[in-house]
Amino acid sequence: MTPTVVLPVIIGGLYAAGVYLLLDRSLTRVLVGFLLLGNATNLLLLSSAGPGGLPPILGVSEADEMSDPLPQALILTAIVITFGVAAFVLAMIHRSWALARNEAVANDEEDRRVAGRHDTDADELDPDELAPEDRPAGHADSLTRHRRTEAVADDVDLPLTEVRP
Amino acid sequence: MISVLAPLPVLLPLLGAACNLLVGRHPRTQRAVSLVVLTAVLAVSVALLLQADESGATAVSVGGWPVPLGIVLVVDRLSALMLVVASTVALGVLVFAVGQGSADGSEETPLSIFHPTFLVLIAGVSNAFLAGDLFNLYVGFEILLMASYVLLTLGGSAPRVRAGVTYVVVSLTSSLIFLAAIGLIYASTGTVTMAQLAIRLGELPEGTQLLLQSMLLIAFCIKAAVFPLSAWLPDSYPTAPAPVTAVFAGLLTKVGVYAIIRTQTLLFPSGALDDLLMWAGLATMVMGILGAVAQTDIRRMLSFTLVSHIGYMIFGIALGTAAGLAGAIFYVAHHIAIQTTLFLVAGLVERQGGSTSVNRLGGLATRSPLLAVLFFVPAMNLAGIPPLSGFIGKLGLLEAGVADGSPLALTLVAGGVVTSLLTLLAVARVWTRAFWRPPTQEPAADTAAAAASDAGPSAGEPALVGAGAPSGDGQPTQRQAAWRAAWERHEQVATAGTGGSAPRAAGVRARRPLPRVMAAATGAMVVVTVGLTFVAGPLYGYTDRAARDVLERTPYIDAVFGDPVPAEEGE
């Protein structure tokens, strides 16, 4: 048995490309990245069967010349699951596009608000006494601000507000 | 007998889901089917628990295929206990959801998808608990994840799609790591049956073992939200509808914890990564609770305490002693019930106060004393106030840590005490601000827009976020008209509790009665959590036996292979 170099190289390449795409903010790239990773994993499962052999059908080939059927069954299951999840992600991309004309991963507003709090413990105060950017998301006076930050930049460190009155 | 019962917790919900899809237009039938199915699953689980406690672990070969070839379901004390707690919680949440559906008057679309998906979720959870081989465990995870994707993005509003993206991408990554680990395990051992792996993995070189163990551990730690891998949870859970968040918080992370217990004890008993797990447990406890203290939104606070308390379970598992594991298993059972209950209460608070932000709530204790009690009891339980079950679970874990005596274990004991105190601080702040504060101190300028945009994302209907959004694309479609109608309904719902813009006398507010079914379901869950305190003695004895079983490993392996231990062990 001679170990093949081709399969590990392909698997490694697919994993690298998949991880790179998965880290992107655009959802379509994330989806493509996920598909690449799924295929890489399927190839990994395939290679776990050892060197290829004859089709594992009783009566067609001898038992010791057959390739291992179990990983193939596992791969089939994994393909079906990947397919279903990919369809769901596509639906989410479509929904995200319909809602915001944008398919990038959005910021978590509440998280930004908590992270951006400073000076005093803001929750000890009445929201109306707070500076507008410290108010809870969705507070009446802060709605305009939220509309301004809706467009999502490509970098992660988006400043919450530019101006402080 | 048991060979008939064991597959039922998986089969019944799947069949029920199919029925529910068929009768999608008859919400009454759907509700009846779901309730009957989950009650049956609960009954079956209790039967399995009694059986498992009496006669130990039992394996069932599905379809009669001999063991290393076919699929095995294994019922032992650990998995039976998990099944019982999971189905109890699922039933409670389902009743709550039914109550919410009828209280909101939104009995038709889009919630007709809720019942079948919920049942599929329970089928996946049961399958993961019963799985006797790694690949079946993977399939169980995928079933429950697929269902959870749908439930988390129910209604498809913008905040939910945002949360869903985070959740889906993180879950996908962990699933792929798990699947790759299965591939590598199969390549190195030639099997995926856990009982067989328990024997064969020990024969591998140590480096290979460590690699496989860490891959599985990373995959499960993402699912269980252990610290460096936990950031997705508080980001994605809070936006979902209340019953969905409740069942996610209770069950999904605990399935990850269960998988960690199973693989750490059965497959990798050497404990090579125990010290690392200890540190992870400490970091999870401390970082989680620091996050919780910083939050002002009740649901987000609860999500952070959920992460934080996973640390206790990891601590117990990492100790690797029978006492530590018994404490961890008890804590899992306690925490499933308590966290679900608290999220259900948060759902009620949102209905009653129109918000889950403690900045906007106030005077709930006078307006709704029942709600106050429903929050107070589980909150104190979560913080570990004696004599409640949270105290017993924490005490058991701390005792196990002290008995271990290593400096690292003692550090974790200290960390556990600090975490418990900070949990008390976090829930006490919610209590003083949302419940105890006189209503007059409430922010007065609580306008309709603010309240509505608060209630919007979680009222089970598509909401327009940012209130001004529809002007964006400028083509008035039918869907936008539907949205607008939904939006107006929201404003009515959201402002009904706050008195809207109508002038109101100081401190006098319209009293809305709590929806009866929802309150009853939450009350029942509170009773269950308090009941855990009363049965704590027997339950702790049971978890102790379960811990000994999983540490010994032989009951599990013998159950799968039948009594004569297979020849490989002699080699």
Q: pLDDT (tens digit, 9 = 90+) per residue, B361-378?
A: 777 777 788 888 888 888
User: For chain B, what is the mean pLDDT?
Assistant: 81
From A105, A122, A126, residue closest to B165, measured CB to CB: A105
pLDDT of B296 strictly over 90: no
DSSP for residue B267: I
Among A23-37, B19-33, B244-258, B355-369, which is the least confidently predicted range? B355-369
Specify the DSSP element, H or E, that contains A121: none
Helix (H, G, I), strand (E, B) or coil at B152: helix
pLDDT of A143 strictly over 50: no
Widest pairwise Cα distance in chain B: 84
Label residue B105 exposed, middle or buried (CB < 10 Å: 0-12, 13-18, 19+). Answer: exposed
Task: Note the helical H segments in B202-250.
Answer: 206-224, 232-236, 242-247
In angstroms, the CA B184 to CA A71 distance is: 11
Residue B98 has what pLDDT? 84
Cis ω before A127 (30° cut-off from 0): no
Helix (H, G, I), strand (E, B) or coil at A58: strand
Are the C-beta atoms of residues B273 and B215 closer than 8 Å to each other? no
In angstroms, the CA B265 to CA B311 distance is: 18
Q: Which residue has the higher pLDDT, B525 or A120?
A: B525
In angstroms, the CA B556 to CA B130 distance is: 12
Q: How many CB atoms lie within 10 A of CB B443?
A: 21
Residue of B nearest to A41 (CA): B180
**Pairwise CB contact (< 8 Å): A127 & B149:** no
Query: What is the DSSP code string of B503-546?
Result: ---TT--PPPPPPHHHHHHHHHHHHHHHHHHHTHHHHHHHHHHH
Residue of B nearest to A21 (CA): B169
Q: What is the pTM of this model?
A: 0.81
**Pairwise CB contact (< 8 Å): B156 & A81:** no
Residues in chain A: 165
Q: How far is CA B331 from the centre of its chain?
A: 13
Residue B140 has what pLDDT? 93
pLDDT of B177 strictly over 90: yes
Query: Percent of chain B beyond pLDDT 90?
Result: 26
Beta bridge partners of B297: B357
**Pairwise CB contact (< 8 Å): A45 & B165:** no
pLDDT of A3 strictly over 80: no
Q: Which residue has the higher pLDDT, B357 or B312?
A: B312
Residue B286 has what pLDDT? 92
Q: What's the mean pLDDT in B123-139?
A: 92
Beta bridge partners of A61: A58
Q: Which residue has the higher pLDDT, B120 or B241?
A: B120
Query: pLDDT, tens digit, for every residue of B160-176?
Result: 888 888 899 999 999 99
A145 — pLDDT class (breaks 50, 70, 90): very low
Among B97-101, B200-204, B258-262, B425-429, which is the least confidently predicted range? B97-101
Query: pLDDT, tens digit, for every residue of B65-115?
Result: 777 777 888 888 889 999 999 999 999 998 888 887 766 655 444 557 888
Q: What's the mean pLDDT in B310-337?
A: 91
Residues in chain B: 571
Specify the DSSP element, H or E, that contains B58: strand B58-61
B453 — pLDDT class (breaks 50, 70, 90): very low
Q: Which residue has the higher pLDDT, A143 or B561?
A: B561
Q: How far is CA A107 from the centre of its chain?
A: 15
**Is A31 near chain B, with CB under 8 Å?**
no
Specify the DSSP element, H or E, that contains A90: helix A69-100
Query: pLDDT, tens digit, for every residue of B396-417?
Result: 999 999 998 888 889 999 999 9
Residue of B nearest to A150 (CA): B466
> Comparing C-alpha atoms, which of B105, B37, B133 is closest to residue B492?
B105
Type of residue found at B542: Y
Most B-contacting residue of A120, A143, A148 (CB-CB within 10 A), to test interface = A143
Residues of A in contact with B173 (CB under 8 A): 22, 37
Q: What's the mean pLDDT in A3-7?
A: 79
Question: What is the least distance, in Å, from the CA of B499 to any CA of chain A?
Answer: 16
pLDDT of B31 strictly over 90: no
Cis ω before B269 (30° cut-off from 0): no
Residue A135 has what pLDDT? 53
**Is A74 near chain B, with CB under 8 Å?**
yes
pLDDT of B25 strictly over 80: no
Residues 6+ apart with CB under 8 A from A87: none
DSSP for residue B275: H
| A:120-139 residues touching chain B, CB 8 A cutoff | 122-123, 126-128, 136, 138-139
B217 — pLDDT class (breaks 50, 70, 90): very high
Residue A150 has what pLDDT? 46
Residue A68 has what pLDDT? 82
> What number of C-beta contacts closer than 8 Å exist between A and B?
133
From B139, B168, B360, residue closest to A77, measured CB to CB: B139
Q: Which residue has the higher pLDDT, B282 or A127?
A: B282
Residue B204 has what pLDDT? 87
pLDDT of B468 strictly over 50: no
From B186, B441, B447, residue closest to A71, measured CB to CB: B186
Q: What's the mean pLDDT in A121-141?
A: 51
From B172, B296, B433, residue closest to A85, measured CB to CB: B172
Query: pLDDT, tens digit, for every residue of B501-533?
Result: 333 333 334 456 777 888 888 888 888 888 888
pLDDT of B442 strictly over 60: no
Are the C-beta atoms of residues B44 and B8 closer than 8 Å to each other? yes
B461 — pLDDT class (breaks 50, 70, 90): very low
Are the C-beta atoms of residues B360 and B442 closer than 8 Å to each other? yes
User: Which token pair is A153?
Assistant: 């930049």
pLDDT of B122 strictly over 50: yes
